[in-house]
Chain A
Amino acid sequence: MSSGDGASQSSSKKSKKPTYSRFTQQELPAFKPILTPGLIMAAFVFLGITFIPIGLSHLSASDNVVQLVDRYDEDCIPTYNSNPEEAHNKRIQYIRDASTNKTCVRTLIVPKKMRHPIFVYYQLDDFYQNHRRYVKSRNDEQYRNPSAERKTANCEPEAVNDDHEPIVPCGLIAWSLFNDTYSLLRNDVPLPINKKDIAWQSDKTHKFGSNVYPKNFQSRSLIGGATLNESIPLNQQDDLLVWMRTAALPSFRKLYGRIETDLEANEVIKVVIQNNYNTYTFNGKKKFVISTTTWIGGKNDFLGKVYITVGGASLFIAIAFISVYLVMPRPLGDPSYLSWNKNPPSN
Chain B
Amino acid sequence: MAGGRIRAKIRRSHLYTFACHRSHQLEEDETPDIQGPGYSRVVYCNQPHRHEQKPLKYCSNYISTTKYNFLTFFPKAIFEQFRRVANLYFLLAAALSLTPVTPFGPLSMIAPLVFVVGLSMAKEALEDWRRFIQDMKVNLRKASVHKKDGVFVLKPWMKLRVGDVVKVEKDQFFPADLLLLSSSYEDGICYVETMNLDGETNLKVKRALETTLPLDDDPTFKEFSATIRCEDPNPSLYTFVGKLEFDCQVSPLDPSQILLRDSKLRNTAYVYGVVIFTGHDSKVMQNSTKSPSKRSTIEKQMDKIIYVLFSLLVFISLLSSVGFIVKTKVDLPKWWYLQVPDSKGLYNPGKPLQSGFCHLVTALMLYGYLIPISLYVSIEVVKVLQALFINQDIHMYDEETGTPAQARTSNLNEELGQVDTILSDKTGTLTCNQMDFLKCSIAGTAYGTCASDVELAAAKQMVMDLDGQGQNGTPNSLKASGHEFVESEIQLETVVTAKDEEALKPAIKGFSFEDTRLMNGGWFNEPNKDVILLFFRILSLCHTAIPEQNEETGAFTYEAESPDEGAFLVAAREFGFEFCRRTQSSVCVREMYPSYQEPIEREYKVLNLLDFTSKRKRMSVIVRDENGQILLLCKGADSIIFDRLARDGRTYLEDTTKHLNEYGEAGLRTLALAYKKLDEAEYSAWNEEFIKAKTSFGSDREANLERVSDMMERDLILVGATAVEDKLQKGVPQCIDKLAQAGLKIWVLTGDKMETAINIGFACSLLRQGMKQICISTNLDALVQDSKQAAKQDVLSQITNATQMIKLEKDPHAAFALIIDGKTLTHALEDDMKHQFLNLAVECASVICCRVSPKQKALVTRLVKEGTGKITLAIGDGANDVGMIQEADIGVGISGCEGMQAVMASDFAIAQFRFLERLLVVHGHWCYKRIAQMICYFFYKNIAFGLTIFYFEAFAGFSGQSVYDDWYMLLFNVVLTSLPVISLGVFEQDVDSEVCLQFPALYQQGPKNLFFDWQRIFGWMANGLYTSVIIFFLNIIIFYDQAFRAGGQTADMSAVGTAMMTCVIWAVNCQIALTMSHFTWIQHILIWGSVFTWYVFLLVYGEMAYALRVNAFRVLIEVLAPAPIYWSTTLLVTIVCNLPYLAHISFQRLFIPLDHHVIQEIKYYKKDIEDGHMWSRERSKARQKTKIGFTARVDAKIRQLKGKLHKKYSVISSHAIPQQTLH
Contact = CB atoms under 8 A, between A and B. Distances in A.
Interface of A: 9-10, 12-14, 16-20, 24-37, 40, 43, 47, 51, 54, 58, 117, 119, 121, 123, 127-135, 140, 144, 156-158, 172, 175-176, 198, 200-202, 206-207, 222, 224, 245-255, 258, 278, 281-283, 291, 293-300, 302-303, 306-307, 310, 313-314, 317, 321, 324-325, 328, 330, 332-335, 337-341, 345-347
Of A40, A47, A133, most B-chain CB atoms within 10 Å: A133
B334 A33 contact: no
Interface of B: 103, 331, 334-340, 342-343, 346-347, 389, 391-395, 397, 401-404, 812-813, 926, 952, 955-957, 959-961, 963, 987, 989, 992-993, 1001, 1034, 1036-1057, 1077-1082, 1084, 1108-1109, 1111, 1113-1114, 1118-1119, 1123-1125, 1128-1129, 1132, 1135-1136, 1139, 1142-1143, 1145-1147, 1149-1151, 1153-1155, 1158-1165, 1167, 1174, 1177-1178, 1181-1182, 1185
A54 B1127 CA distance: 12
Given A47-B1135, A133-B342, A32 B1052 contact: no
11 contacts: A18-B397, A28-B1080, A40-B1150, A133-B340, A156-B342, A200-B1119, A293-B1045, A303-B1128, A307-B1128, A340-B1182, A341-B1178
A333 B1164 contact: yes
Given A37-B1150, A248-B1055, A310-B1139, 12 more contacts: A18-B391, A30-B1078, A30-B1079, A32-B1078, A34-B1149, A34-B1160, A47-B1135, A157-B342, A200-B1119, A202-B1114, A338-B1178, A347-B813
A35 B1145 contact: yes
A253 B52 CA distance: 86
Contact of A339 (B391, B987, B1155, B1165): B1155
B1132 A310 contact: yes
Nearest to A139: B1109
A158 B1150 contact: no
A127 B1114 CA distance: 27
Contacts of B1042: 253, 291, 297-300
A28 B1082 contact: yes
B959 A248 contact: no
B343 A298 contact: no
Contacts of B1136: 306, 310
Contacts of B1118: 200-202
B1015 to A, nearest CB: 17
A32 B1125 contact: no
Nearest to A69: B1041
A58 B1129 CA distance: 11
B1153 A337 contact: yes
A280 to B, nearest CB: 10
A302 B1037 contact: yes
Contacts of B1082: 28
Contacts of B1129: 303
B1128 A16 contact: no
Contacts of A33: 1077, 1079
A135 B1110 CA distance: 9
Contacts of A130: 952, 955-957, 959, 961, 963, 1053
A313 B392 contact: no
Main SS of chain B's interface residues? Answer: helix
B1040 A252 contact: yes
B1172 to A, nearest CB: 13
A330 B1148 CA distance: 12
B1160 A251 contact: no
B1167 to A, nearest CB: 5
A247 B1109 contact: no
Contact of B1150 (A127, A224, A294, A321): A321
B393 A18 contact: yes
B1146 A35 contact: yes
A337 B1156 CA distance: 11
A25 B1041 contact: no
B1049 A18 contact: no
Contacts of B1155: 338-339
Given A14-B402, A119-B1043, A128-B959, A26 B993 contact: yes
Given A131-B961, A224-B337, A310-B1136, A17 B404 contact: yes
Contacts of A302: 1037-1038
B1158 A333 contact: yes
Contacts of A335: 1158, 1162, 1174, 1177-1178
A144 B1038 CA distance: 32
Contact of B1128 (A10, A29, A58): A58
Given A131-B338, A172-B338, A293 B1048 contact: yes
Contact of A172 (B339, B397, B1143): B339
A16 B338 contact: no
Contact of A347 (B346, B812, B1125, B1177): B812
Of B952, B1036, B1077, most A-chain CB atoms within 10 Å: B1077
A16 B399 CA distance: 10
B1139 A313 contact: yes
A121 B1050 contact: yes
Given A13-B402, A247-B1053, A303 B1174 contact: no
A172 B1049 contact: no
A330 B1050 CA distance: 52
A178 B586 CA distance: 119
A33 to B, nearest CB: 7
B1113 A206 contact: yes
Pick the 8 closest A-B CB pairs, nearest first: A13-B402, A298-B1042, A119-B1048, A245-B1052, A333-B1161, A298-B1043, A132-B961, A132-B959
A47 B1143 CA distance: 12
Contact of A18 (B339, B392, B1041, B1048): B392
Contacts of B1162: 333, 335
Contact of B1139 (A17, A175, A295, A314): A314
A128 B337 CA distance: 9
Contacts of B1079: 30-33
Given A207-B1113, A334-B1158, A247 B1139 contact: no
B1123 A297 contact: yes
Contacts of A283: 334
B339 A140 contact: no
Contacts of A14: 402
A184 B433 CA distance: 103
Given A144-B1108, A246-B1053, A300-B1042, A307 B1132 contact: yes
Of A27, A158, A201, most B-chain CB atoms within 10 Å: A27
B403 A16 contact: yes
Contact of A330 (B334, B1038, B1125, B1151): B1151
B1161 A282 contact: no
B1125 A54 contact: no
Contacts of B1150: 35, 37, 40, 321, 324-325, 330
B957 A250 contact: yes
Nearest to B1124: A295
B1053 A278 contact: no
Contacts of A9: 402
Given A17-B397, A32-B1160, A341 B1181 contact: yes
A247 B1043 CA distance: 12
B812 A346 contact: yes
Contacts of B1053: 129-130, 135, 245-248
Contact of B1039 (A20, A132, A248, A339): A248
B1056 A297 contact: no
Given A133-B342, A317-B1143, A252 B1077 contact: no
A171 to B, nearest CB: 11
A337 B1050 contact: no
A155 to B, nearest CB: 11
Contacts of B1185: 345, 347
Given A306-B1034, A310-B1135, A332 B955 contact: no
A291 B1042 CA distance: 9
A53 to B, nearest CB: 12
